[in-house]
A = this chain, B = another copy of it.
Amino acid sequence: MMRIDCLQYANWSEKIFRQMREGGVDAVHVTIAYHESFRETVLNFEQWNRWFEQYPDLIMKGQWASDIDRARETGRTAIFFGFQNPSPIEDDIGLVEILHTLGARFMQLTYNNQSLLATGCYEAEDPGITRMGKQVIKEMNRVGLVVDMSHSADRSTIEAADLSERPIAITHANPHSWSPGLRNKKDDVIRAVTSQGGMLGFSLYPHHLKGKTDCTLESFCQMVADTADKFGVKNLGIGSDLCQDQPDSVVEWMRVGRWSKEIDYGEGSASAPGFPPMPDWFQDNRHFGNIEAGLRAVGFSDENVSDLMGGNWYRFFAENFTPRGVT
């Protein structure tokens, strides 16, 4: 069974790459920019190039769905790149194609705040997709860079789903109806995305879980089943948001970047500012088997477990990473 995780941001190390192999993870979409400029993002591509050179038996660069087949044949994990913010393109639409050429496959139009393109989920007002945002969505469609609205506000997300001529994604979030919170998505938002071929990746990040760290595997898997009943099983997958081995300074960087001199706690709080502990049934890449078993336990068929664990993302990657007109 294919296993694809459509969002991780770990403190990468040989240990974690080995855990990916132990967990049978065939592909991971990794975040390489939160607030980085273009040049800083290129430094992050460079760092990954070093890791591909250092650990050629464990990981390989992922560019196309077919790279996942190659990774499986050679016992490696294919690493696909994405940005949680459009900061890497700065104010230059030409960088969309440049970054796709370098390997970027997902880009969020916003990260919590208003961006040049759209509105983030923590803003008070959401005026929707901007002038530049409309142009950039068109260009992303052209080159095969997927619009990701995980950290965007509702109206912006629905408009992006409608404006985009190719399916978009919410790579890591859960339904608001199961666990309310600004980062989880209301039904009309999920419907706007999935009804047009887009994908929702279920998050294992405690702030997105009902009961946070104490959320049970059963509750999580039942939520997946309910979501599949509502929106169809074919547009759902996993986007764990695993931030393994990161120091708390990193979650502060994710939240504050350079945009504020004041601390912003995001989904945390003054009393719990750091990364929350993961649930005991999903500590790291070795635990995807638990989710697979949990999905079977709530009644999913073999075929649908396979869809949810990776098959749906595989199909989505195959259809949405190539430039338009190229098959």
Contacts and interface: CB of A to CB of B under 8 A. Distances in A.
Interface of A: 38-39, 42-43, 45-47, 49-50, 92, 94-95, 97-98, 101-103
A39 B49 CA distance: 19
B98 A42 contact: yes
Nearest to A102: B101
A142 to B, nearest CB: 8
Given A101-B101, A101-B102, A102-B98, A92 B38 contact: no
Contact of A46 (B39, B49, B92): B92
A94 B49 contact: yes
A50 B47 CA distance: 29
Contacts of A50: 94
B95 A42 contact: yes
Contacts of A92: 46
Q: Is the interface of A mostly helix, strand, loop or mixed?
A: helix
A103 B101 CA distance: 9
A98 B92 CA distance: 19
A87 B11 CA distance: 32
A50 B97 CA distance: 10
11 contacts: A38-B39, A39-B39, A42-B95, A42-B98, A45-B98, A46-B98, A47-B94, A49-B97, A50-B94, A101-B101, A101-B102
Q: How many copies are assembled? A: 2
A47 B46 CA distance: 23
A123 to B, nearest CB: 30
Nearest to A101: B102
Contacts of A47: 94
Contacts of A94: 43, 46-47, 49-50
Nearest to A93: B46
A140 to B, nearest CB: 14
Nearest to A45: B98
Given A39-B38, A39-B39, A46 B101 contact: no
A177 to B, nearest CB: 43
A16 to B, nearest CB: 21
Nearest to A47: B94
Contacts of A45: 98
Contacts of A95: 42, 46
Given A46-B97, A101-B103, A102-B102, 15 more contacts: A38-B42, A42-B95, A43-B94, A45-B98, A46-B92, A46-B94, A46-B95, A46-B98, A47-B94, A49-B94, A49-B97, A49-B98, A50-B94, A101-B101, A101-B102
Contacts of A46: 92, 94-95, 97-98
